[in-house]
Each structure stands twice: as structure tokens, then as C-alpha cells.
Chains A and B, each alone.
Chain A
Amino acid sequence: MEPVVRIASRTVVLPADNVDTDQIIPARFLTGTRRDGLGASLFADWRRDGAGELRADFPLNRPEAEGARILVAGANFGCGSSREHAPWALTDYGFAAVVSPSIADIFKGNAVRNGLVPVEIEASAHRELLSRPGAEIVIDVEAGTVSLPDGGSARFELPPFARRCLLTGRGPLDFLLEREPAILRYEQGQDDVAEAP
């Protein structure tokens, strides 16, 4: 995972609330055994019509969305299925951050572990971003700030460990592996040992 410190990009706006991970990547694209190459299936049923043609009116398909790395979405983004294929598809497509008033729990964790920055901002700043699709903004992961098109800025919170994961590109697995002695001590103190198969 590459460190993410600062993202400067135009936005793409997808204003619907409660965008679930089945929309982000429909289940029929989950039959693989690899993490890469899922960007082609991102929002598959919204980006393309029944005949497989791109829908010109879908925000990601507009010419100005080309190369945009910040997705501005409605509330409760990423709800539903725990599929990590959702952040895999978003990052493979080119997104580096999702900005929303609220992001679903499982998706938020999956995003951080894949270097996709989950940015939760308050309603008025979110409205400002919704009203200005294609705005050039800057997300500063270290400072926890988003620059707004009107010249202001909004703050966003990340748990300290999640922020460090993003800034260093080092995930929780290394941290856990280093805790092996403590894990072993914990196990030895337990009497609730699962039966061997």
C-alpha cells in the first residue's frame, strides 16, 4: 500500500444517499480470486445500460470526470455487504478519497486498509461540494482538512491509527504480527479453547 498524504484533484459528485456496495460493484463481479482489475466493474449497472453501452448522463461518464480522484457521495456511503471488492474497484478505477457526511462502518475500515481516504465532513461543507461538481479541492490527510471551492475549509476526523496507516502505507497486519508474544500470552490465559476439529 502506497502512503497517502495529500490529494489534489477535481471531484465527481454522486449525490444519492445510502449507496450500497452492491452498486459500487455488483456481486456477479465477485467471482474472481484476485484483487486487481476491478475498476472496469465499478458502478457497472449505473455506468452502463442493459446493452453494455455507457450512459452519458452518469456522473462518472461525463468528460469532466476524466482523471478525477475524489468522489463526493451522499450519506451512509458504502452500506450493505462487507465486500472489500468495493474499495478495490474504486482505487483500481483511480479514486483516492470518498467524501461524504457519513460512511458505513465496514466500508470505512476496508477503505483505510486500501489507501482510499474516507473523509466524513459536516453537512454544510458537504452541500457546498455537492453544488460544485468538478471543483478542484485538496484533501490533507495529515492535517485532516479539505479545502472547499468557496475558499473555506472543512475538518475531518480519522482515528489516529487509521491516519498513520494512510500516511505510512503500513497496515494493521504488521502491527498485529509484532504483538505475537502478547497474543500468545492471552491465549495461554484462556480456558475457552476451541475443540480441535
Chain B
Amino acid sequence: MNVETPRTLFDKIWDAHEAVPAGPDHPAVIYVDTHLIHEVTSPQAFALLRERGLRVRRPDRTWATVDHSIPTRFVEGRPAFLNRATRTQVETLERNCEEHGIPLFRMGDPGQGIVHVIGPELGLTQPGRTIVCGDSHTSTHGAFGAWAFGIGTTEVAQVLATQCLLQERPRTLGIEISGRLGVGVSAKDLILGVIRRFGVAAGRGHVIEYRGGAVKALDMEARMTLCNMSIEAGARAGLIAPDETTFEYLEGKEHVPSGDGFADLVARWSRLPTDEGAAFDRSLSFDAGSLEPMVTWGTNPGMSCGISEAVPAPADADERAALDYMGIEAGRPLLGRPADVVFIGSCTNARISDLRAAARVLAGRRTNPATHLLVVPGSAKVRRQAEAEGLDEVFRSAGAEWRAPGCSMCIAMNGDRLSPKELAVSTSNRNFEGRQGPGGRTVLASPVTAAASALAGAVADPRPFLQE
């Protein structure tokens, strides 16, 4: 490629990771810098290696944690596993990591947490890297200007065995976001707004680059929330150009070099942003200034509206089915709809800034007795930090349960789940039917909207709590 051809951020990462360029009868072989694994989508991959007599090629580029199916509750000091199967998954990962020399963060380790929360915390997530994990929310790491995407278990085996993947080159989609987020409006509301506007399949076949003033103004944790839900817009990956905000976050992290090494990295990272004049295959723009706090009313993340807006009349059979499943009537706002559960957690919104935002709303107040508030920090580190700041006390005093880190009620594999027809206001990423428990109903929202809803015992506007 002509070095003077302007390239996008994604193009630069792609070009730097082609171990074998595409040929007429095969896609490119892409090298993976960092491979994250967890207990639910890896056991069959290790089994495949065993069947084929293969070893893990780069255990030093592989990191394991437990998060999806682990308990967030302890009984008499022991983790309260849901059942034998979930315990076996964790033990299987422990055995596999031991056998192949892969570092593993076990329950109770200071570095353990949701895979997409700990990568950035440890400084494993760095600009320009390729990062994969058997989890679709791997897009989170794109916040650092990394190309990060979810893969299936067969691909997990391929990366374990060869540190590479065969990839068809995705198209690029630039989303220019202008305007300034209002009080009580967060990155979560922004991504819900983007998905509502462009649809849940808008990013299919594409890598999204989020650009523009509203994106640059976000801190790293907010950028992670934005990129996290790229998959809910249909894109495997969404990324943001690294800048001073990125470098500042990374400086001093465990796996980031210091001193001259850091300066050299910053110099390299600074060359990553999309060049002036580089073309995206497709471009969209979005105004963040007019957004209000968002809530979903249906069964996919595109079915949402502003908190004060009336739920729209169903446009088709799928939307009618969604309203029916949710037990929601079109034509009036969701405000005031009773909430049985409020869940603050997940790889979307369980970082320290999310917990601080929720605590600000909850401080000195009590949740409605009819609503159960569950706060699940994204990692052991987030949990320690929250406890150091006294946030756990704010949550407990408000009537919340304060749990150990994990995916918990976002995926409801560990027993933290809704009963049929229960409604949760949740800071997680998916409102699919049954996602938080069979028959359960999910309203996706930001941490402050979730916190305000816990106080009201019903879907509530957070802004009155944020005025003082």
C-alpha cells in the first residue's frame, strides 16, 4: 500500500496484523495480540486442542478470568454455586489454565472480574492491538483504539493453537457524534440513542469508528460503555481513536511500560488516529445534544425512547410481540412503571464511575421497599475502590445488596435472575426475552436512571436527583 494513502484507524490496525495477506481462495490471517478467555466459551476449545494433540501457542498472550457463571454471593465464606455444572465449568478452566500455563484470575483474586472490565484495568487493552475473546462484548476494548471483537468457541481454539484467525476484511462505518450530553445523560443513553436511530443491524459487516466532539469529551469508562454496545448495533467491533484521555488512563497500569518505554508507546499510539481525508465505506452522523435519559420498552436494544417520551405505537408484528411480552402499553411514557428489581452491573456499566454516579443519586436515601436493588461491581478492583470510597455503605444504607464481581444478572447463568413477569431496570446491555431469567422483563437504562428507579420503585427520571 502506498504509505501516503490516508487510512482509517481500523485500516492501520488491520495492515499491521496481516500475518498472511488474503489470497484468491482464502481470507487474511490476522495475528491476535491479546486473547482473553473465560469459563463458559472455552472448555470445548481446550477439548478440541486435546483431540488434535495441540498446545497453546502463546500462553503469555492469553489471560483467563471467571465471570459468566460464577456466584456473586458467598455462604459461610464459600462461593454459592448455582449447581454442579457451573462449578465444573470453573474447575475445568482452572485445570486447562494449569495444564497450558495460562494466567488465571480465580474467584477471590485481587485481579478477578468481568473479562472486559479487567483487560483495561490491567493495561492489557492498548491502542493498536488486536484483542479477541469468546464473548460478543469484546467490542468494549475498542474504546482504546484497539480492534477488539467477539469470537466463537471454534475460533477460541484456533487462537489458542495458532494465535491467529482467518478474517474477511470488514467494511468501515464512521459515526460522527456532535453536541454535548445534558445533565443526567450518559454514554449509555448515547449508545441507546444511536441504536434506536440506526437500528440493531446498522453495523452488520462493519467496524464502527465513533468520532466527533461528543466522543472526544467522554472519559475512558464512558467510551467503554459506548463501544461495549457496538454489537447491539450489529457491529462486531467499535473503536475510538486514542488521545490524551487514553494515554492518561493507561499510564501506570500494570502491563503498560513506564518511563521511556511509555513515551515510545505514546509516540506510536499517536500515529493511529484516522488520517485526514481517509474514507469510510459508510458515514453517519448523530446529534447527542438533544438526547434525554433513554429507556428500552421492548425486547431488543433498538426498541427504546426518551424517558419522558410516550412508548411509540408498534410498527410491525415484532414490535407488537415485544410490547406484549413486556406487558407495556404504547402511547404513554414508561415513567412510573413499577420495577421489581434494579440491577446495577455488567461489562456495560459496572466500573467505578458508574457506581459513583449511582451512589450520588442514592446517597442518604432509601430504595422503595417493593424494589430489590442489586449492585454488582465489575471487578475485584472496582469493588475495593468503591469500598475505599464508602460507596458500598451508600448502597447498603439505601437498602441494596452489595455483591462480589461477575456478570450476574446480565446473563443470569449463576442464579441471579428474574422470576417470570418480573421487571428489572438494568444497566446491562440486552433486553432480549428471558435474558435476565425466563419470562423476565428488562428495561435497559443508565446507572443514574437505574438508581432513581430503585428509589421510586418504578421507572424514574434521574434528573431531579442531579439538580442540587
> Contact at B412–A27, with CB atoms within 8 Å?
yes
Contact with A along B411-445 (1 / 0, CB 8 A): 11100000010000000001011110011000000
The stretch of A62-70, A140-148, A158-166 that contacts the partner chain: A158-166
6 nearest interchain CB pairs? Answer: A33-B43, A186-B19, A84-B152, A82-B150, A110-B152, A31-B85
Interface residues of B in 200-241 (CB under 8 A from A): 200-201, 204-205, 231-232, 234-236
- A contact residues vs B (CB 8 Å cutoff): 15-18, 20, 22-23, 26-28, 30-35, 45, 50, 74-76, 79-84, 102, 104-106, 109-110, 113-114, 159-161, 164, 171-173, 175-177, 179-180, 182-183, 186-187, 190, 192, 194-197
Within the complex, which residue of A50, A105, A161 is in contact with B26, where a contact is CB–CB below 8 Å?
A161
For A83, give the chain B residue with the smallest CB separation: B41
Give the complex CA separation of A104 and B200 in angstroms: 10
B132-164 interface (Cβ within 8 A of A):
134-136, 150-155, 157-158, 161-164
Q: Are A105 and B205 in contact (CB under 8 A)?
A: yes
Binary contact track B32-67/A, C-beta < 8 Å → 1, others 0? 011000001101100110001010001111010000
**A16:B432 contact, CB within 8 angstroms:** no
CB distance from B85 to the nearest CB of A (A): 4
Q: A27-B411, A34-B44, A186-B19 are in contact. Are A104 and B234 (CB under 8 A)?
A: yes
In the bound complex, how far is the Cα of B83 from the Cα of A172, in angstroms?
35
Looking at the assembled complex, report how far the CB atom of B59 sits from the nearest CB atom of chain A, in whole angstroms: 8
The answer to whether B204 and A26 touch across the interface, beta carbons within 8 angstroms, is no
A177 touches B434 (CB 8 A): no
Closest to A197 in B: B103
The size class of the interface chain B forms with chain A is 35 or more
Cβ contacts under 8 Å, B20 to chain A: 179, 182-183, 186
B29 touches A183 (CB 8 A): yes
B128: chain A residues at CB < 8 Å are: 192
Residues of B within 8 A of A28 (CB): 412-413, 438
Partner of B204, one of A50, A83, A104, A196: A104
Q: Tell me how far the C-beta of B276 lies from the nearest C-beta in chain A, rounded to whole angstroms.
A: 25
Q: Which residue of B lies closest to A184 (CB)?
A: B19
Partner of B430, one of A80, A113, A160, A195: A80
B434 close to A82 (CB less than 8 A): no
**Given the complex, which residues of A lie within 8 Å of B201, measured CB to CB?**
18, 75-76, 79, 102, 104
Q: Is the CB of B44 within 8 A of A35?
A: yes
Central interface residue in B20, B52, B60, B432, by most chain A CB within 10 Å = B432
Number of A-B contacts (CB under 8 A): 192
Return chain B residues, CB-CB under 8 Å to A22: 430, 432-435
A175 to B31, CA, bound (A): 14
Nearest CB in chain B: distance from A165 CB, A: 10
List of B residues within 8 angstroms of A186 by Cβ: 19-20, 31
Q: Which of A16, A30, A171, A197 contacts B154, CB < 8 Å?
A: A171
Contact stretch, chosen from B86-94, B361-369, B380-388: B86-94
B106 at the interface (CB under 8 A from A): no
Known A82-B135, A176-B158: A20·B164 in contact at CB below 8 Å = no
Q: Which residues of B contact A192 (CB under 8 A)?
A: 33, 128-129
Are A173 and B158 neighbours in the complex by a CB distance under 8 Å?
yes
Find the A residue at minimum CB distance from B302.
Answer: A18
Q: Is B24 an interface residue (CB 8 A)?
A: yes
Report yes or no: B34 in contact with A27, Cβ–Cβ below 8 A: no
Given A33-B43, A194-B34, A194-B60, check contact A161 B432 (CB 8 Å): no
Say yes or no: B60 contacts A176, CB within 8 Å.
Answer: no
Tell me whether A176 and B161 are in contact (CB under 8 A).
Answer: yes
Q: How distant is the Cα of A36 from the Cα of B433 in the complex, in angstroms?
A: 25
- Contact present for B19 and A76 (CB under 8 Å): no
Is the beta-carbon distance between A50 and B413 smaller than 8 angstroms?
no
Residue of A with least CB distance to B134: A82
B346 interfacial contact with A, CB 8 Å:
no
Which residue on A lies nearest to B27, using beta carbons? A161
**Judging by beta carbons under 8 Å apart, are B33 and A176 in contact?**
no
State A3–B236 Cα separation when bound (angstroms).
28
